[in-house]
């Protein structure tokens, strides 16, 4: 038997424990939910491993969680007969946070107790929540299939270190013993514990057992009291919440179930619970969260819903059951058809999984469509009216990925998109709203992409549109230009970037304007040729434009070409971007352009004209020092 070891916590755990022990959770009862949830997960893992090795059940095939307390010792114990821990697993799992993004999580902590408590809840570091009510925690465990003498005892006071030693343990599984603080004595009450379980853990599919109580009369002149017996009673419904009839489940039970499976601290925006029958039978319980996780943009991180087969837990984060662009959805899928030994590899190839994935996708989009309808429903409550805007603010950018990934639902997704525009600074304009406001004779939906809302809104490329009162959608998400490559029209109307190709307002431009533009371009040809020669290393072409009103010049991409913004974005992400030169468009009526022809500093002015156009659309001059030098020379 090994000697007792004293080991230090990982730095992030030590910092986290300091926060937790200062009661950062606004609701202390959460600790019991987290520990029971961990116990249930351990039983699920045993059931899954026992599919290939039934001997792991040893002599206890019935999985359960037991909660007990000892008033004299001031301890509260949560015991499961699940998979258990080896000594090394206890060191690894209880001494470190084995979760991606941990460092980012710690960096996000602000010192504000309320917001930090929410972050801790969101990150799901549940075991450590025990230190909210305990000044010492002892974990005793033995892994299923191991010998009794291969048990482990882990002990910590929640400071900088913990102790680990070998012990003999007859029963497989884990006991978490909380030595309660003086101010946590109310958790030594059966009524209190049962009420917490009923609120937070009633959905757990395993039986949660507590000792029965009987009334003991007091001696003469003394009050009676409740006394614990040796009998154990099930105190939860012990049936999977998703397997119950919808009419028997309250909204509060749905929200508490969501918080348990997602480790979230906020209620979900919406949920959908359905039994799907047909060629493939399954139950889906899907939730739309109210806020995005910190690692939302890590597409490689495992994400997805929990998968059960006939109520047997199979895996967390079964990403094959939803497309990647819906990776924010939480919940449970319980299949009646998949084999119990299904692997992640088999999930990718299964026809049943494909049907489940398509059904889940349709259901999520229906939920989002319902949220969007509530925005304009006069009968809807103010809270419901604001839900879609909140969803879109958190997940709108990731939803746009679906335009390129899900061709079969592209039309439905397009109707859910919202953008800022030259008429609205908030992302509240749908493509249908835009179409309804289009001017008579307008035959395209105009848009512009930009790094920021201010850059897009103040782009010189919008000048003619602003002058004529034509609305332009302002797209500022990094994914916009890529996504719009897959959405060329909406409801029969083409989408047209105002920053690509020559501007053509069609019927919105009268004949006099067209004639004047043609005459100006003809008279301007010699100057354009000189500019083209001076800028041949920077510009693909130089041409006169009608899109500018107040600015001397702007840069545009060729029709069908990659914009400079997208090229910059790809380079910043370390990806290869084709070397493309933009087109310089100049305003023949601008005083600066008129001076060019007779200026002795023609070459320097031409370079400044190009670099200023580059700055206006969010880029940087190739040689900033040379640009500054030229401007200074002209100023002097």
Pairing of strands 493-497, 445-449: parallel
**Pair 365, 301 in one domain:** yes
Provide the pLDDT for residue 21: 61
- Mean pLDDT over 306-321 rounds to 84
Assign residue 615 the CATH number of its domain. 1.20.120.790
pTM above 0.95, yes or no: no
The conformation of residue 509, written as its DSSP 8-state character, comes to S
Instruction: Give the up-direction half-sphere exposure of residue 120: CA atoms within 13 A in the CB hemisphere.
Output: 33
Radius of gyration of the chain (CA): 32
For residue 343, tell me if it sits in a domain.
yes
- pLDDT tens-digit map of 238-258: 888 999 999 999 999 999 899
- pLDDT tens-digit map of 521-566: 777 888 889 898 988 888 888 888 878 888 888 888 877 666 666 6
Structure tokens belonging to residue 97: 């946070």
CB 419 within 8 A of CB 425: no
**Number of domains comprising the chain:** 4
Give the Cα separation of 547 and 342 in Å (integer).
Answer: 59
Terminal Cα distance for the chain, rounded: 86
For residue 444, tell me if it sits in a domain.
yes
- Give the three-class secondary structure for 405: helix
For residue 387, tell me if it sits in a domain.
no
Give the Cα separation of 206 and 239 in Å (integer).
Answer: 7
The model's confidence at residue 388, banded by pLDDT at 50, 70 and 90, is: very high
- Give the three-class secondary structure for 141: strand
- pLDDT tens-digit map of 268-293: 999 999 999 988 999 999 999 998 88
- Write the burial class of residue 147 (CB in 10 Å: 0-12 exposed, 13-18 middle, 19+ buried): exposed
- Candidate from 60-74, 346-360, 571-585, 597-611 with smallest mean pLDDT: 571-585
For residue 227, tell me if it sits in a domain.
yes
Q: Give phi and psi for 434, each to the nearest 5.
A: -60, -45
- Write the burial class of residue 473 (CB in 10 Å: 0-12 exposed, 13-18 middle, 19+ buried): buried
Q: Mapped to the 3 state alphabet, what secondary structure does 13-27 carry?
A: HHHHHHHHHCCCCCC
**Pair 444, 518 in one domain:** no
The conformation of residue 492, written as its DSSP 8-state character, comes to T
Give the Cα separation of 270 and 384 in Å (integer).
Answer: 10
Instruction: Give the up-direction half-sphere exposure of residue 41: CA atoms within 13 A in the CB hemisphere.
Output: 14
For residue 400, tell me if it sits in a domain.
no
**Pair 368, 252 in one domain:** yes
**Pair 227, 177 in one domain:** yes
Q: Please identify, among 214, 236, 258, the residue that sits at the C-terminal boundary of a domain.
A: 236
Q: Mapped to the 3 state alphabet, what secondary structure does 416-481 carry?
A: HCCEEECCEEEEEECHHHHHHHCCCCCCCEEEEECCCHHHHHCCHHHHHHHHCCCCCEEECCCCHH
Strand ranges across the sheet with 305-309: 270-276, 282-288, 330-335, 305-309, 312-318
Dihedral, CA atoms, 31, 36, 42, 48, nearest 10 degrees? -130
- pLDDT tens-digit map of 198-234: 888 888 889 999 999 888 777 776 777 778 888 999 9
**Pair 524, 615 in one domain:** yes
**Pair 93, 196 in one domain:** yes
> By C-alpha distance, which of 634, 560, 549, 575 is closest to 600?
634
Provide the pLDDT for residue 369: 97
Give the Cα separation of 514 and 397 in Å (integer).
Answer: 39
Q: How many CB atoms lie within 10 A of CB 439?
A: 13
Provide the pLDDT for residue 98: 44
C-alpha 604, offset from chain centre = 49
Give the Cα separation of 15 and 587 in Å (integer).
Answer: 60
Q: Give phi and psi for 304, each to the nearest 5.
A: 145, -170
Provide the pLDDT for residue 99: 46
Q: Over the chain, what is the mean pLDDT?
A: 85
CB 284 within 8 A of CB 274: yes
Provide the pLDDT for residue 111: 58
For residue 405, tell me if it sits in a domain.
no
> By C-alpha distance, which of 582, 575, 573 is closest to 619?
582
Who contacts 577 (Cβ-Cβ below 8 Å, separation ≥6)? 562, 566, 567, 568, 570, 571
**Pair 118, 226 in one domain:** yes
Q: Please identify, among 236, 270, 302, the residue that sits at the C-terminal boundary of a domain.
A: 236
- Candidate from 170-174, 488-492, 629-633 with smallest mean pLDDT: 629-633
Give the Cα separation of 6 and 19 in Å (integer).
Answer: 22
For residue 410, tell me if it sits in a domain.
no
Assign residue 257 the CATH number of its domain. 3.30.230.80
Q: How many CB atoms lie within 10 A of CB 290?
A: 16
Give the Cα separation of 70 and 75 in Å (integer).
Answer: 5
Strand ranges across the sheet with 493-497: 424-429, 419-421, 473-475, 445-449, 493-497, 489-490
CB 333 within 8 A of CB 307: yes
The model's confidence at residue 121, banded by pLDDT at 50, 70 and 90, is: very low
Give the Cα separation of 392 and 420 in Å (integer).
Answer: 12
CB 435 within 8 A of CB 444: no
Provide the pLDDT for residue 491: 93
Structure tokens belonging to residue 169: 């343990």
Provide the pLDDT for residue 37: 86
> By C-alpha distance, which of 257, 222, 220 is closest to 242?
257
Domain interval for residue 371: 242-375
| Percent of the chain whose predicted confidence (pLDDT) is above 90 | 41
The model's confidence at residue 122, banded by pLDDT at 50, 70 and 90, is: very low
Q: Please identify, among 507, 533, 549, the residue that sits at the C-terminal boundary of a domain.
A: 507
**Pair 136, 62 in one domain:** yes
**Pair 215, 282 in one domain:** no
CB 324 within 8 A of CB 299: yes
Cα separation values, 105 from 34, 119, 188, 545, Å: 19, 8, 33, 50
Q: With residue 240 as reference, give the H or E element that holds it.
A: none
Who contacts 385 (Cβ-Cβ below 8 Å, separation ≥6)? 374, 375, 377
CB 58 within 8 A of CB 172: yes
**Pair 483, 559 in one domain:** no
Assign residue 145 the CATH number of its domain. 3.30.565.10
Give the Cα separation of 586 and 610 in Å (integer).
Answer: 10
Assign residue 474 the CATH number of its domain. 3.40.50.11260
**Pair 35, 167 in one domain:** yes
**Pair 519, 501 in one domain:** no
- Write the burial class of residue 10 (CB in 10 Å: 0-12 exposed, 13-18 middle, 19+ buried): middle
For residue 186, tell me if it sits in a domain.
yes
């Amino acid at each position: 038997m090994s000697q007792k070891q004293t080991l230090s916590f990982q730095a992030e755990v030590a910092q986290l424990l300091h926060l937790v022990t200062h009661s950062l959770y606004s609701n202390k009862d959460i600790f019991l939910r987290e520990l029971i949830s961990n116990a249930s997960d351990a039983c699920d893992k045993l059931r899954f491993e026992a599919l290939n090795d039934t001997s792991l059940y040893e002599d206890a095939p019935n999985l359960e969680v037991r909660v007990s307390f000892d008033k004299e010792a001031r301890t509260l114990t949560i015991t499961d007969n699940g998979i258990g821990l080896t000594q090394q697993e206890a060191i690894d799992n209880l001494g470190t946070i084995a979760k991606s993004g941990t460092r980012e999580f710690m960096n996000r902590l602000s010192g504000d107790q309320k917001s930090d408590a929410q972050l801790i809840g969101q990150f799901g570091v549940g075991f450590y929540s025990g230190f909210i009510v305990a000044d010492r925690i002892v974990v005793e465990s033995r892994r299923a299939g191991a010998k009794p003498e291969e048990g482990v005892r882990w002990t910590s006071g929640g400071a900088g270190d913990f102790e680990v030693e070998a012990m003999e343990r007859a029963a497989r599984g884990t006991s978490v013993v909380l030595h309660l603080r003086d101010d946590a004595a109310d958790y030594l009450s059966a009524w209190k514990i049962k009420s917490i379980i009923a609120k937070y853990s009633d959905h757990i599919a395993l039986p949660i057992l507590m000792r029965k109580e009987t009334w003991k009369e007091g001696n003469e002149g003394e009050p009676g009291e409740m006394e614990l017996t040796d009998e154990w009673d099930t105190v939860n419904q012990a049936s999977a919440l998703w397997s119950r009839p919808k009419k028997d489940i309250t909204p509060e039970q749905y929200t508490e179930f969501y918080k348990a499976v997602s480790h979230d601290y906020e209620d979900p925006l919406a949920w959908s619970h359905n039994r799907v029958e047909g060629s493939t039978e399954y139950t889906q319980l899907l939730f739309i969260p109210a806020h995005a996780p910190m690692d939302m943009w890590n597409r490689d991180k495992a994400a997805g819903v929990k998968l059960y087969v006939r109520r047997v837990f199979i895996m967390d984060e079964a990403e094959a059951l939803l497309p990647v662009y819906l990776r924010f959805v939480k919940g449970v899928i319980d299949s009646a058809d998949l084999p119990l030994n299904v692997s992640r590899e088999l999930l990718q190839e299964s026809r049943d999984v494909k049907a489940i994935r398509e059904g889940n996708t349709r259901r999520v989009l229906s939920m989002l469509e319902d949220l969007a309808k509530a925005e304009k429903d006069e009968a809807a409550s103010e809270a419901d009216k604001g839900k879609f805007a909140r969803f879109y603010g958190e997940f709108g950018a990731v939803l746009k990925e679906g335009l390129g990934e899900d061709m079969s639902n592209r039309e439905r997704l397009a109707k859910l998109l919202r953008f800022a525009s030259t008429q609205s600074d908030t992302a509240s304009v749908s493509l249908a709203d835009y179409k309804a406001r289009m001017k008579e004779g307008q035959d395209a939906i105009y848009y512009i992409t930009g790094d920021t809302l201010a850059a897009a809104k103040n782009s010189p490329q919008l000048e003619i549109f602003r002058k004529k009162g034509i609305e332009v959608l302002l797209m500022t998400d990094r994914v916009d230009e890529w996504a719009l490559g897959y959405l060329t029209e909406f409801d029969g109307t083409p989408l047209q970037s105002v920053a690509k190709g020559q501007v053509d307002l069609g019927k919105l431009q009268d004949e006099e304007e067209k004639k004047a533009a043609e005459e100006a371009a003809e008279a301007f040809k010699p100057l354009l040729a000189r500019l083209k020669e001076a800028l041949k290393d920077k510009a693909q072409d130089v041409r006169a434009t009608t899109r500018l009103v107040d600015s001397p010049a702007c840069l545009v991409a060729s029709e069908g070409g990659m914009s400079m913004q997208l090229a910059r974005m790809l380079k910043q992400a370390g990806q290869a971007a084709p070397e493309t030169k933009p087109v310089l468009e100049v305003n023949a009526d601008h005083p600066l352009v008129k001076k060019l022809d007779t200026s002795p500093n023609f070459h320097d002015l031409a370079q400044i004209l190009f670099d200023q156009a580059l700055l206006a659309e969010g880029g940087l001059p190739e040689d900033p020092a040379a640009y500054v030098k030229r401007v200074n020379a002209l100023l002097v």
